[in-house]
């Protein structure tokens, strides 16, 4: 029997994104992760931290990005910030839209550890430079008033524009298009941890929620190891009792990393386009509601035809 090569590779995650929730103060129509259309939740911070620590015990993480939604909406963000200040061995970005001020506890932590946020420090508060009329950038004002360094993010192309990967109502494409989408996808290097599960990108997690059954592709079989339930492995009583948590965890993380060049079935719900749009164009409540209604109708048809 041929040995699985990925088990023996010394793997690393070059860039790990960690969601701490899906609550956001904006409603970006072309949000890469479909956040305005997802159920709103703030994840358990202690569980998120333990998941991250477990991943770091399994492989090297070169760069970390903590985000939401909008991370500063999380009621326990000060716990996450305290952890990042004390335990970040890698460069870490906190990605924010800049509309929410830090809580008193978080601000005190940032002021007491201001050197961590300087250019030579390991932490960076990264405020997206959205050109939204009337947008109040209260976080930047607060940080400047308290001498806490932050960076302004101008997006991938440095010109205040986003690419479009398709709207939430995109239906499943052909298998050939699915493979092609992934081959030219700009998000392949965005390994993302979402509430305990490791995905190739956050959009995959969003598509799974919006399109039940998206993790399979009728008539085609995808290999195992395209996702890893980190939390399930970490909390397994049996694996812990047998002393196998790290062995099993390393196997599945390495298997996952060995398949970063393989398309996922969820990629069939994306659309690649070279057209650029102004970043953070806002959707109306009516538009968001209409999308959610259409998604429920699509889901009903799928159940009826199953």
What pLDDT tens digit does each residue of the chain (306 aa) get?
344 443 334 589 999 999 999 999 999 999 999 999 999 999 999 999 999 999 999 999 999 999 999 999 999 999 999 999 998 778 999 999 999 999 999 999 999 999 999 877 899 999 998 878 777 789 999 999 999 999 999 887 777 788 889 999 999 999 999 999 899 888 888 999 999 999 999 999 999 999 999 999 999 988 888 999 999 999 999 999 999 999 999 999 999 999 888 899 999 999 988 888 888 999 999 999 999 999 988 876 554 444
Full residue range of the structural domain in which residue 235 is found: 13-305
Residues with Cβ within 8 Å of residue 282, at least 6 apart in sequence: 26, 27, 28, 29, 132
Is 6 part of any domain?
Answer: no
- Are 230 and 198 within 8 A, CB to CB? yes
pTM metric for this prediction:
0.92
Are the C-beta atoms of 138 and 145 separated by less than 8 Å? no
Does residue 1 lie within any of the structural domains? no
Residue 7 lies in a domain: no
DSSP state, residue 107: H
The residue written with tokens 């500063």 in the block is: 72
Burial of 262-282, coded b for 16+ CB within 10 Å and e otherwise, reads ebbbbbbbbebeeeeeebbee
Identify whether the C-beta of residue 210 lies closer than 8 Å to the C-beta of residue 295.
Answer: yes
Residue 8 located in a structural domain:
no
In a domain, 75, yes or no: yes
- Answer whether 39's CB lies under 8 Å from 213's CB: no
Q: Is residue 26 part of a domain?
A: yes
Residue 145 neighbours by CB under 8 Å, 6+ apart? none
Q: Across the strands, what pairs with 229?
A: 197
The total of other beta-carbon atoms located within 10 Å of residue 22's CB is 26
**In angstroms, rounded to a whole number, what is the distance separating the alpha carbons of residues 5 and 111?**
47
- 246 within a domain of the structure (yes/no): yes
CATH number for position 108: 3.20.20.70
Across the chain, where does the E strand assignment appear? Answer: 12-13, 16-19, 60-61, 63-67, 91-96, 123-128, 151-153, 161-163, 191-194, 197-199, 228-229, 276-278
Domain presence at residue 261: yes
Query: Total structural domains in the chain?
Result: 1
């Amino acid at each position: 029997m041929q040995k699985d090569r990925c088990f023996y590779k010394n793997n690393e995650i070059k860039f790990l994104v960690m969601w701490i929730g899906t609550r956001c103060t904006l409603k970006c129509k072309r949000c890469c992760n479909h956040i305005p259309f997802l159920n709103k939740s703030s994840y358990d911070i202690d569980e998120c931290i333990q998941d991250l620590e477990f991943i770091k015990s399994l492989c090297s993480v070169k760069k970390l990005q903590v985000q939401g939604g909008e991370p500063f909406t999380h009621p326990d963000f000060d716990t996450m910030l305290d952890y990042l200040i004390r335990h970040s061995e890698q460069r870490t970005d906190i990605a924010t839209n800049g509309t929410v001020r830090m809580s008193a506890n978080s601000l005190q932590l940032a002021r007491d550890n201001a050197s961590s946020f300087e250019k030579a420090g390991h932490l960076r508060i990264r405020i997206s430079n959205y050109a939204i009329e009337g947008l109040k950038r209260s976080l930047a004002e607060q940080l400047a008033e308290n001498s806490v360094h932050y960076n302004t993010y101008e997006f991938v192309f440095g010109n205040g524009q986003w690419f479009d990967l398709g709207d939430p109502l995109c239906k499943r494409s052909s298998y050939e298009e699915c493979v092609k989408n992934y081959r030219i996808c700009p998000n392949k290097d965005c390994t993302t941890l979402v509430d305990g599960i490791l995905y190739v990108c956050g959009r995959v997690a969003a598509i799974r929620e919006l399109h039940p059954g998206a993790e399979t592709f009728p008539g085609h079989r995808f290999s195992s190891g395209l996702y890893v339930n980190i939390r399930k492995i970490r909390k397994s009583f049996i694996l812990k009792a047998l002393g196998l948590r790290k062995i099993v965890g390393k196997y599945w993380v390495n298997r996952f990393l060995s398949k970063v060049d393989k398309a996922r079935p969820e990629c069939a719900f994306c659309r690649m386009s070279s057209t650029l749009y102004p970043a953070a164009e806002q959707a109306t409540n009516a538009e968001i509601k209409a999308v959610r209604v259409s998604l429920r109708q699509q889901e009903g048809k799928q159940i009826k035809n199953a």
